[in-house]
Structure 1
Amino acid sequence: MMQTFVRADIEDFLFAEAELLDEWRLPEWLELFTDDAIYYVPATDLAVDASPDNNLFYVADDRFRLSERVKRLMKRTAHAEFPHSRTRHLVSNVRIRRQIGSDVEVASAFITYRTKDAVTDTYFGSNRYLLTPHQGSFRIKEKRCLLDSEGLRAQGRVSIIL
């Protein structure tokens, strides 16, 4: 029997994810991902479905690399993020794109504000998720953050988690 997905449930999940990121509860955020999850932030000039196998990505992490990124960001020795930036992740335009087996493909728009050292950077774009049902909620199998800016000229880097 096919599961019916309710957009409000998916929105609640995405809003909770944003809250974890804004509160720097990264170990808890990491638990939202499946063991075989991938997290991608492709370069701004790539197609939506580009592969990190033959393209340059800002971030192309499997679950293990993502866990190492979280550990690194939580340490005092992560100079780019200690003390931690203040961030605000705004999520909107949540859409259920299609069901793939028992999973659901979801798209949303985002704006992430990051303030550090008296400078505020704005990241904006869309997220593509592949979510799998898990204990009355969801887990993330894939998250692809597609930046809409022409590049990272102003910021120069992505040291936070989008």
Structure 2
Amino acid sequence: MLPVERRAELLDLYSAYAACLDDGRFGEWPDLFVEDCHYRVVPRENYDHDLPLSTMELHGTGMLRDRVYGVESTLFHAPYYQRHIIGIPRILDYSDDEIAVEANYLVIRTKRDQPSEVFNAGRYLDTVVTTQQGLKFRQKFCVFDSELIPNSLIYPI
């Protein structure tokens, strides 16, 4: 069983992840990952059938930072707020320096002039590693349940 202190660190990482995105602090998002990370947003059907097509796939924090630059500086869209609701992470496997984690998520989107709506629902399949700065994501796969994302995917899931 994962030690209680380590589990608390893991919960802190997921809480920091949600707060960073929900507060619109996108510039801090890449700091939650190790340099050689892999971030993927993929429909469940493609993931389950091991198909390569993803809605978004980024390798390394350089690509994450480039995505943040796009969100903050070049993409034009009607602004909206996100609210992440993340279930209690389930430990699939662990060692001293790596934890395999699955956690359900729900992202609510609220446009300023419209009621809130479910934007995306699915599960995170993550690999979390120990670094000198604490736990960070090496892999974050956002496997969403539907085949479609309404409109377009601007902000990270």
TM-score bracket for this pair, using the shorter chain length = 0.7 to 0.9
Match of 2:124 in 1: 127
Residue ranges of structure 2 left out of the alignment (5+ in a row): none
C-alpha contact (below 8 Å) 2:93/2:101 kept by paired residues: yes
Q: 2:37, 2:49 → 1: CA distance?
A: 16
Q: 1:105, 1:129 → 2: CA distance?
A: 6
Say which SS state the counterpart of residue 41 (structure 1) adopts: strand
- Kindly provide the CA deviation profile for residues 24-73 of structure 1, in whole angstroms up to 9, marking residues without a partner as x: 111111111111001001134213483xxx62100111122221101111
Say which SS state the counterpart of residue 45 (structure 1) adopts: helix
- Kindly provide the CA deviation profile for residues 13-33 of structure 1, in whole angstroms up to 9, marking residues without a partner as x: 101110001111111111111
Say which SS state the counterpart of residue 160 (structure 1) adopts: coil
Alignment of 1:1-162 (within 5 A): 4=3, 6-48=6-48, 50=50, 55-63=52-60, 64-75=62-73, 77-80=74-77, 84-99=79-94, 102-116=97-111, 118-119=113-114, 120-122=116-118, 123-135=120-132, 137-152=134-149, 155-162=150-157
**Higher normalized helix content (fraction of residues):** 2
List structure 1 segments (4+ residues) > 4 angstroms apart after TM superposition: none
Say which SS state the counterpart of residue 8 (structure 1) adopts: helix
Aligned residues: 152
Say which SS state the counterpart of residue 151 (structure 2) adopts: coil
1:39 partner letter: Y
Q: How far apart are 1:93 and its partner, in Å?
A: 2.9
Q: 2:19, 2:42 → 1: CA distance?
A: 23
Residues 48/100 of structure 1: CA separation in 2 closer, same or farther (3 Å cut): farther
Q: How far apart are 1:6 and its partner, in Å?
A: 3.0
Q: How far apart are 1:80 and its partner, in Å?
A: 2.1
- Kindly provide the CA deviation profile for residues 129-148 of structure 1, in whole angstroms up to 9, marking residues without a partner as x: 11111236211110000101
TM-score, scaled relative to structure 2: 0.85
Q: CA RMSD in A?
A: 2.2
C-alpha contact (below 8 Å) 1:44/1:151 kept by paired residues: no
Q: 2:126, 2:69 → 1: CA distance?
A: 23
C-alpha contact (below 8 Å) 2:13/2:136 kept by paired residues: no
The share of aligned pairs that are identical, in percent, is 23
Q: 2:32, 2:99 → 1: CA distance?
A: 15
Q: How far apart are 1:8 and its partner, in Å?
A: 2.6
Residues 101/11 of structure 1: CA separation in 2 closer, same or farther (3 Å cut): closer
TM-score, scaled relative to structure 1: 0.82
